[in-house]
C-alpha cells in the first residue's frame, strides 16, 4: 500500500498482502530511486526510507530531539534554509543540531519566535516567501561542509580523520577465491592508511578494532563525536565473475543532491587508485546509511574486487596493500590542497 501510495506499480495479484515478484520489482524500483542498495528486500534501511518518504513539510512539528527526527519534510526544510543562506549542514533529512541552528537563525531574521520548532508560524513564513515553488527540491548549497574543507591551514596536518574498516567480528564481509575475508583486508588497509596519515600530522581514529563489528550508526557516531573533518570507509567490491576488477568510490547523494566535497574526494580517490593500475570504476552518489549519518564529508571506497584473484594477491602482499593505501593518502592530500 505504501509503495502504491508513492506511485510504484504493485500488480493486482500482490494486493491484499502477498509479497510476490511484482512487489519485489516495486521495492527494487524504489531502492534504485532512493539510492539504496538494490536487493528487493525490505530491510531496516528500506523500511525507514518507505516511512520517511511519505512525510510532507507541515505533517508534524519538527524540532531537535535526541535521536534526530528524519524524513522528507526535514529534507525540504534543509533545502529551503540552505537556499536562503542559512546553512543547515549535510542535506541528509535528519533534524540535527546544525539544522536547528540554521532554523533559529532564520527565525531571528524574520522576527519569529526563535524556538527552533517548525510550527505553524514558521511554516507560514516559509510559505509566504514561496520558497518551495521557487526551489523545487534540494537546490541548497552545502556551505558549512565546504567551509569545513577550506577553513584552517591547507594540508593534512591537524585534520581529524575517521577511518572505517568495513565489516569485522562475526561478519567477514565478502570472501575471496580462497576464503580471504573482506573484513581482514579492509582492517589492514585502514591501519596502513592511518599510519601514513599520522605521519602527515593528521589525527586518525579507526571506527572498530580488529575483531569487532559495530553497527553502521555506531561507526558514524564515532566520527560525529570526534568532530572529525573527514570520514573514509573502506570496503571491497565483489562480483560473481572473477574477471571483474577495479576501484570505485561512493559519496552521499539523496534525490539528486550530492555532497559536493564528498563527490570531489570520491573523484580524487578513484583517480589516484587508477595510477596504481586499477581500472577506474568511477565515483557514484549513494544514500547509504553510513554516508548519511556522518555529519562530515564522507566517502566509501572499494579499491579492489575481493573476487578477483589478481587483486586479492595484490592486497595480501604488504607492498601492494601499501600502494593502495598510499593512493588513498594522496587523494586526501589533494583534497585538502585543492581547496576549490
Which positions touch Zn ion (CB under 5 A)?
Answer: 166, 173, 235
Q: CA 226, CA 204: separation in Å to the nearest integer?
A: 10
DSSP state, 307? Answer: T
CB of 46 to Zn ion, least distance (A): 18
Whichever of 166 and 168 has its CB closer to Zn ion, that residue is 166
- Nearest in space to 105 (alpha carbons), one of 127, 128, 89, 93: 89
Q: Which residue is nearest to Zn ion (CB)?
A: 235
DSSP state, 290? Answer: H
CB of 290 to Zn ion, least distance (A): 10
Instruction: For Cα atoms 186, 289, 63, give the angle at the middle one, nearest 5 degrees.
Output: 145
How buried is 227 (Cβ within 10 angstroms: 0-12 exposed, 13-18 middle, 19+ buried)?
exposed
Which residue is it, cell 500500500?
1
Whichever of 159 and 235 has its CB closer to Zn ion, that residue is 235
Cβ atoms of 332 and 297 within 8 Å: the answer is: no
Cell numbers describing residue 301: 571506497
Give the bridge partners for 285, in sequence order: 251
CB of 244 to Zn ion, least distance (A): 15
CB of 162 to Zn ion, least distance (A): 17
CB of 70 to Zn ion, least distance (A): 24
Which residue is it, cell 568532530?
227
Whichever of 138 and 176 has its CB closer to Zn ion, that residue is 176
Sequence-ordered list of residues with C-beta below 8 angstroms from that of 332, at least 6 positions apart, any chain: 156, 161, 197, 230, 232, 265, 268
Whichever of 234 and 257 has its CB closer to Zn ion, that residue is 234
Q: Is 166 helix (H, G, I), strand (E, B) or coil?
A: coil
Q: CA 137, CA 257: separation in Å to the nearest integer?
A: 9
CB of 235 to Zn ion, least distance (A): 3
Q: CA 46, CA 16: separation in Å to the nearest integer?
A: 21
Whichever of 300 and 333 has its CB closer to Zn ion, that residue is 300
CB of 182 to Zn ion, least distance (A): 5
Whichever of 138 and 166 has its CB closer to Zn ion, that residue is 166
Whichever of 140 and 173 has its CB closer to Zn ion, that residue is 173
Amino acid at each position: 500500500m505504501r509503495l502504491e501510495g508513492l506511485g510504484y506499480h504493485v500488480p493486482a495479484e500482490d494486493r491484499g498482502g502477498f509479497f510476490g515478484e511484482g512487489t519485489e520489482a516495486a521495492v527494487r524500483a524504489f531502492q534504485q530511486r532512493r539510492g539504496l542498495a538494490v536487493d528487493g528486500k525490505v530491510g531496516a534501511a528500506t523500511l525507514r526510507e518507505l516511512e520517511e518518504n511519505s512525510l510532507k513539510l507541515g505533517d508534524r512539528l519538527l524540532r531537535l530531539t535526541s535521536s534526530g527526527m528524519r524524513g522528507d519534510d526535514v529534507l525540504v526544510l534543509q533545502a529551503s534554509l540552505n537556499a536562503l543562506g542559512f546553512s543547515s549542514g549535510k542535506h541528509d533529512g535528519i533534524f540535527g543540531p546544525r539544522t536547528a541552528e540554521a532554523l533559529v537563525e532564520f527565525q531571528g531574521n524574520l522576527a519569529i519566535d526563535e524556538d527552533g520548532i517548525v510550527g505553524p508560524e514558521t511554516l507560514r513564513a516559509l510559505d509566504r516567501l514561496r520558497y518551495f515553488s521557487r526551489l523545487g527540491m534540494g537546490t541548497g548549497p552545502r556551505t558549512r561542509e565546504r567551509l569545513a574543507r577550506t577553513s584552517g591551514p591547507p594540508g593534512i596536518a591537524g585534520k581529524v580523520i575517521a577511518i572505517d574498516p568495513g565489516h569485522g567480528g562475526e561478519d567477514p564481509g565478502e570472501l575471496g577465491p580462497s576464503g580471504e575475508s573482506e573484513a581482514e583486508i579492509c582492517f589492514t588497509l585502514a591501519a596502513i592508511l592511518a599510519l601514513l596519515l599520522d605521519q602527515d600530522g593528521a589525527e586518525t581514529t579507526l571506527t572498530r578494532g580488529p575483531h569487532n563489528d559495530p553497527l553502521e550508526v555506531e561507526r558514524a557516531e564515532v566520527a560525529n563525536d570526534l568532530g572529525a573533518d573527514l570520514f573514509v570507509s573502506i570496503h571491497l567490491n565483489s562480483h560473481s565473475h572473477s574477471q571483474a576488477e577495479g576501484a570505485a568510490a561512493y559519496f552521499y547523494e539523496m534525490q539528486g543532491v550530492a555532497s559536493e566535497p564528498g563527490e570531489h574526494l570520491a573523484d580524487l580517490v578513484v583517480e589516484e587508485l587508477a595510477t596504481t593500475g586499477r581500472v577506474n570504476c568511477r565515483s557514484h552518489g549513494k544514500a547509504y546509511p553510513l554516508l548519511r549519518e556522518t555529519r562530515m564529508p564522507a566517502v566509501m571506497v572499494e579499491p579492489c574486487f575481493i573476487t578477483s584473484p589478481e587483486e586479492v594477491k595484490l592486497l595480501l602482499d604488504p607492498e601492494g596493500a601499501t600502494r593502495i593505501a598510499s593512493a588513498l593518502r594522496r587523494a586526501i592530500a589533494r583534497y585538502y590542497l585543492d581547496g576549490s
